[in-house]
Amino acid sequence: MKKRVLIVLAAIISLIICSSFSANSYAGLKITITQFVQDDSIGGVVQGLSASEVKLFKIIVYVKTNKLYIHPFETGGERETYSSIDSSGNWWVRSEHRKPAPSKIFAFMVKKEYKAPLNVQSIREIAYKAYDSIKYSEDAVK
């Protein structure tokens, strides 16, 4: 009898965990970097969120050199440190050319209240819901 109760409890707990996990994930969510204009902007689009859901998130951009560094500025707010997502899913931040050139550019969708670390060794240190990256090359820059 105890074994059966434990099995039922384990099934219920598993169902609760799976339900809460799927409620916090967004099926079909996709973020794409669509533009990179040196000394102007980095931008893109988020797909898979409703107009009300986009208000819950922001985009932070990191560039990879020896580490991942928040881009373009460590402080400054909207368009300087992060970007809101508009109702169509569009976002952008300023771009600033620095040396050394990055090897990659990353855009992460995070919760609006998330305090992004200024630099990290790995993307696993960032609490993101979705991300995209592009390889940096002079040919990719407009």
Domain count within the chain: 1
20 is a domain residue = no
13 is a domain residue = no
| Residue 52 lies in domain | 28-140
**Res 5: pLDDT:** 46
CB-side neighbour CA atoms (13 Å) of 4: 1
18-55: pLDDT as tens digits: 333 333 456 688 999 999 888 899 999 999 999 889 89
Q: Is the pLDDT of residue 3 over 70?
A: no
Q: Are 51 and 43 in contact (CB under 8 A)?
A: no
**Res 22: pLDDT:** 32
Q: Are 58 and 112 in contact (CB under 8 A)?
A: yes
Q: Name which of 91, 111, 103 is nearest 42 in CA terms.
A: 91
**CATH code of the domain in which 99 resides:** 2.60.40
Share of the chain above pLDDT 90, in %: 51
Residue 103: pLDDT band with limits 50, 70, 90:
confident
3-state SS, one letter per residue, for the chain:
CHHHHHHHHHHHHHHHHHHHHHHHCCCCCEEEEEEEECCCEEEEEEECCCCCHHHHEEEEEEEECCCEEEECCCCCCECCCEEECCCCCEEEEECCCCCCCCCEEEEEEEECCCCCCCEECCHHHCCCCEEEEEECCHHHCC
**Res 15: pLDDT:** 40
Question: What average pLDDT does this structure show over 84-93?
Answer: 95
Q: Are 48 and 71 in contact (CB under 8 A)?
A: no
Average pLDDT score, the chain: 81
Question: What average pLDDT does this structure show over 76-94?
Answer: 93
**Res 96: pLDDT:** 87
34 is a domain residue = yes
**Res 18: pLDDT:** 38
95 is a domain residue = yes
pTM: 0.77
Q: Using omega within 30 degrees of 0 as the cis cutoff, is the peptide bond preceding 117 cis?
A: no
Share of the chain above pLDDT 70, in %: 77
Q: Which residue has the higher pLDDT, 39 or 112?
A: 112
Integer Cα distance of 5 and 29 in angstroms? 38
Q: Are 100 and 92 in contact (CB under 8 A)?
A: no
